[in-house]
A and B are shown apart, each in its own frame.
Chain A
């Protein structure tokens, strides 16, 4: 087992394992870095709703492609359906929170569960009528790296590189909008477009992550590395880079672990590693960690 793990960590465990490992690392890098801004702008819950809102689109895209006589499982088609359905969810969410008195978190919860429920209904119908070859669609829920193709890994690599480039060039308006949106507007920044770009980049991370960690867990890969990184730095740029590195490490090691322990699914392994990094950071961080606070506390006079 240890041997398999070491081989996987150094990309020596075979072609497919290397693809999965590389794809998971690049996904973690992009999701961690983008997620740092998503979290600081307080869009974590919205991104979770967006991820769940992809499911009906996946099902409908499968139906459409199967009805047209193609392979219902073609990834580009499924991702397009996922993106459209997530966008619809976002638009409805915007309408719900601006036109009704529903608080934003309640509206987000409502959209999340309604879309997810609709998605499950569509998947069940697909399985019962038996059109196309739906085996594997449920893999988008929790991720399924078995049978990951070279094209999938390339998609994640290309998409991830594009996202990192966008993030680097938009870092100033993103940071200023997250810290003080009113001042950002006074400085000539279009904060609405900035927020929209952030949501689109977050959506792109969700789509890239569907295959590897699945739509239920992807939010954790956006948030957890950012939370861990925040404990080690007080500068947003460094927080974003650290979050990307933590996400990449969790992705890579998680994929290797699940190869070495066949009972451990890849997506959950990655998420648990990211969370373990957060837990360790919360314990050990020199500024904000529990241990350093405990160590400092008795020094206080009268404490």
Chain B
């Protein structure tokens, strides 16, 4: 790092995308997305169905190939910062009939510590149990994952991410199809992470909760329409632009 970098007053950038483009079979899904996610912020990625929100995140993390563009996390190329990032996929992305208990799934978040053959030390076990407890799931540790409700499955996924102790937590629709109690538990945990300086980025669908949950928004519909602090960015005209000019009464003018 050069001295000039450390002198800048801006908070550290957790994730920076520049000119990121993705296409599936010739069809552009994300076009030249440029965005900056400051460390310690909590950003909602919003836009209509098919706007490329999930794809943007997956491409940023290198999980789907990008056509062009650059992604840096904490000042480094993304591939070298992956160990600082926890990703929570959509709940429907996995087969919940897989033979695993709740605690087994959370312990998968400890793989960077255990490696191939390393023992699960008492400290690591305690970390997994604490992650479950943080989401009110301590009593479910021995439960088979197939026996969980949708909301409980989502909490297990977030507990696995907590166990990773990442500095950046990226969530793909964490509130899709979960009950109100789960939504409250998840948001409390995410706000707690932000309070401790961690960065949160989530694909989000419920426009009415954006101002209460998130301090920043990124509005997109294939390309980035606006990004910035919620009070100045989450305005009716811009959301309408992202959603194709539908009337949106829930948003401040």
Q: Which residues of A contact B (CB under 8 A)?
A: 40, 169-170, 172-173, 175-176, 178-180, 182-189, 230, 233-236, 238-239
Which of B98, B108, B116, B160 is close to A169, meaning CB atoms less than 8 Å apart?
B116
**B116 and A179 within 8 A (CB):** no
* B144, CB-defined interface residue at 8 Å: yes
Task: Name the distance in Å between B227's Cβ and chain A's nearest Cβ.
Answer: 24
**Which of A176, A180, A236: most chain B Cβ within 10 A?**
A180
* B111, CB-defined interface residue at 8 Å: yes
Ranked nearest first, the 3 interchain pairs of A and B with the lowest CB-CB distance are A234-B144, A187-B111, A186-B87
Q: Which residues of B contact A (CB under 8 A)?
A: 58, 61, 63, 82-83, 85-87, 89, 93-95, 98-101, 104-105, 108-109, 111-112, 114, 116-117, 144, 146, 160, 164
**A178 and B116 within 8 A (CB):** no
A239 to B144, CA, bound (A): 13
A78 to B105, CA, bound (A): 43
A293 to B221, CA, bound (A): 49
Given A172-B114, A187-B112, A182 and B100 contact (CB-CB distance below 8 Å): no
How many residue-residue contacts, CB under 8 A, span A and B?
68
Q: Which A residues touch B101, using CB under 8 A?
A: 234-235
**B94 and A179 within 8 A (CB):** yes
**B85 and A180 within 8 A (CB):** no
Q: Which B residues touch A230, using CB under 8 A?
A: 99
A175 to B100, CA, bound (A): 9
Which of B87, B114, B160 is close to A182, meaning CB atoms less than 8 Å apart?
B87
**A188 and B83 within 8 A (CB):** yes
**B104 and A235 within 8 A (CB):** yes
**B85 and A186 within 8 A (CB):** yes
Given A180-B93, A183-B160, A234-B144, A188 and B100 contact (CB-CB distance below 8 Å): no
A188 to B84, CA, bound (A): 11
A188 to B113, CA, bound (A): 11
Q: Which residue of B lies closest to A233 (CB)?
A: B99
A178 to B98, CA, bound (A): 9
A164 to B117, CA, bound (A): 14
